[in-house]
Chain A
């Protein structure tokens, strides 16, 4: 079999390049993953190629990009699973920083800010609180499952709604809201979440087409989580 990969990579650095283009490379890969391939291109052919990676093991969420049109983690994408031709492009829906690198950081900082509330408790009070509560492991595992988001941005890029309406908060933010809402240790009442997300840019903006669900590299059950969140907020709407 011909080991040579034909790779087309989106190249554009806003502010220094005139216009975006796809650049073609032919490489005989020395590694097994898309990340190892673009590292090889950066080291051997094109030192200026921009993309993000840190852990190269699917845990830090840095390396998401469109691989043949679908959002995925480059470090987890095995070359064997793709044909001899590859097209790589940056995740849509985020500010482009250059080539394959996008600004997912700002999206998630904003998410944390939206969901934050200062509690003004002292360390002593917090410790006393923790010691006074017991939680069975099922509850913790449920939260753990919802807390696995690595903030890669794949679900936001896969979502047609988010692409058309930039005010729509996106699947990751809804998931994380639901994660906090089901945590018995968070003292906020459900109305807090109702006010924040029972809107057209929140759960009611989501058209439930579920492209997000199949794009999550951590296999987080986005479909069922978003549905549960919507139902919880709808119920609140009925009772209030």
Chain B
């Protein structure tokens, strides 16, 4: 048996995981980080837009403050964001942005002098501010607050973190797929994982374990997320007794995903003056948001698109409905400099040249606000599990409530990652050194059996795991998308339950290898069906519309539901249990 022992274990090499592991290491704690892919491949690298932080250094953000940032975030959250968490975040993220500057992040700077904005206004940046970190405009904010590095902020942050990780000597083990939590009663003592190089199961025992495994966007067929955003961490928690998830129905959709690939087309296109058309070449947003028009928030536009579609006004392409995004009038010069990535993606994935052609877009899943329930210090202790922590998109500590502001999640990964490390080191100091050998042995046995069973069943005719996962994805995009209703959600629940029943009979279709992509999918499959049931169950029970959760049959917000949703898996009835909790009395 291959065992690694460390004081702390971090699962996930995205920004949240890296930030936490660096902090732990700097605090003198012996920590190991595992990731299913080499860290830079993590989804964090795909974030382009930037990090919201009220530095108040640029002309358009001159009167910004953490208070305004707080207000915008609370407003976005639609009653479900936790004031204490938001307050902590809005202050801390400023320090984080400066700290990252000293780690070498190439933040775009203020250049003193006159500048013409895209709407034609002229502004003058003060001499005093020359060379400070500047900010750009993002939807839903009172001031220009989003700090950025041209068009690849997430990538540049990741690289700064990786340089820092090496400097502090952080051991990173990539191609390591976490399979289950090692539980000794109600205490988490590490994970079992499959080494995707050797096909061997490894034990990672530790006093404190952080799940920083990202979101569950890939439960949806149409998603801007990377292929590994499968909700692995949420599924690990749902599978242990008492493991609690929260606000799973809170899923954000982005209106301008390129069709049919769902690659994200940045908000910048609309910010710079792009138009949206329906199949009659009407700018339909004039009807739904006469003031903001194409600059309305993500969910307003996503909803408007679906309503237009219902009126029969969506364009019909080879692979389904879409609308048109038009940036032709911005001109070649502007497109090839400011929207270079857009032009490349539109050509590569849809075969269109935005200088001459319209771009086909449609709403797709983009961000998951729900996740592993933690308290304000990123620990799951108050929800019955010790030794377990979560941060980043994997966690739900009520920063975003029922709608995330663009640019708040990159900041979250860094602030929460650092804070989780502080909580974890306190926990480690208090906990004795003893870890249960039998708990680890048991879990190793269970996972080995699981793998053995997959091997034995392989080649058997019948349903494949891959096909179960793709059924889940199409059900979720169809019934748990921008608009939801009782009938659709019930259909989805029924179908998902059927898939859950069929799953034990599924088999690997090809020949078995522990490191094959099919085995990876097989090991994730059941967890994904359960997570989908959690999303659908919570969406069914929340009979109101709030933030990104829209019910056709309950279009109004209801005071009764101004609470966070909690859900657990009942392993006897094999179903989701849901209850609610007030936002404030959490401690």
**A residues near B, CB below 8 A?**
13, 16, 31-33, 42-43, 46-50, 52-62, 76, 78, 80, 97-98, 103-105, 108-109, 112-113, 115-119, 121, 123, 126-127, 129-131, 133-137, 140-141, 143-144, 147-151, 180, 183, 185-186
What is the 8 Å Cβ interface bit string for chain B, positions 502-527, against chain A (1 contact, 0 not)? 00000011110101111000000000
Q: Smallest CB–CB gap between B300 and chain A, Å?
A: 25
Give the distance in Å from the alpha carbon of A152 to the alpha carbon of B102 in the complex: 26
Q: Smallest CB–CB gap between B93 and chain A, Å?
A: 12
Q: Smallest CB–CB gap between B344 and chain A, Å?
A: 7
Contact B348 A33 (CB under 8 A): yes
Contact B510 A148 (CB under 8 A): no
Q: Smallest CB–CB gap between A139 and chain B, Å?
A: 8
**B residues near A, CB below 8 A?**
37-38, 40-43, 45-46, 95, 98-99, 101-104, 106-111, 130-132, 134, 149-150, 152, 155-156, 159, 162-163, 165-169, 172, 174-175, 197, 226-228, 261, 263-264, 344-345, 348-351, 464, 466, 508-511, 513, 515-518
Contact A48 B511 (CB under 8 A): yes
Give the distance in Å from the alpha carbon of A77 to the alpha carbon of B473 in the complex: 26
Which residues on the B side are within 8 Å of A117 (C-beta)?
167
Contact B131 A134 (CB under 8 A): yes
Which residues on the A side are within 8 Å of B46 (C-beta)?
55, 57, 59-60
Q: Smallest CB–CB gap between A221 and chain B, Å?
A: 15
Which residues on the A side are within 8 Å of B156 (C-beta)?
144, 147
Report the nearest A residue to B171, measured CB to CB.
A109
Further 11 A-B residue pairs, CB within 8 A, beyond A62-B41, A105-B174, A126-B98? A13-B515, A16-B513, A43-B466, A56-B261, A57-B261, A109-B166, A109-B172, A113-B166, A116-B163, A127-B98, A143-B104
Contact A131 B98 (CB under 8 A): yes
Contact B155 A148 (CB under 8 A): yes
Q: Give the interface centre of A50, A113, A140, A150 by most chain B CB atoms within 10 Å.
A: A140
Contact A47 B516 (CB under 8 A): yes
Q: Smallest CB–CB gap between A149 and chain B, Å?
A: 8
Contact B345 A57 (CB under 8 A): yes
Give the distance in Å from the alpha carbon of A103 to the alpha carbon of B102 in the complex: 31
Given A42-B517, A50-B516, A59-B45, CB of A97 within 8 Å of CB of B98: no
Give the distance in Å from the alpha carbon of A16 to the alpha carbon of B131 in the complex: 57
Give the distance in Å from the alpha carbon of A118 to the alpha carbon of B28 in the complex: 13
9 contacts between A and B (CB under 8 A): A47-B509, A57-B345, A58-B344, A61-B40, A103-B197, A109-B38, A109-B174, A130-B101, A183-B106
Q: Smallest CB–CB gap between A67 and chain B, Å?
A: 14
Give the distance in Å from the alpha carbon of A1 to the alpha carbon of B39 in the complex: 42
Chain A: interface secondary structure?
loop
Which residues on the A side are within 8 Å of B40 (C-beta)?
60-61, 108, 150-151
Report the nearest A residue to B37, measured CB to CB.
A54
Contact A56 B263 (CB under 8 A): yes
Which residues on the A side are within 8 Å of B509 (C-beta)?
47
Given A60-B46, A135-B131, CB of A140 within 8 Å of CB of B162: no
- The one of A33, A134, A147 in contact with B106, judged by C-beta atoms closer than 8 angstroms, is A147
Which residues on the A side are within 8 Å of B99 (C-beta)?
123, 126-127, 130
Nearest 9 CB-CB pairings of A with B: A134-B131, A105-B38, A112-B166, A116-B166, A130-B101, A126-B102, A48-B510, A47-B510, A130-B98
Which residues on the A side are within 8 Å of B516 (C-beta)?
47-48, 50
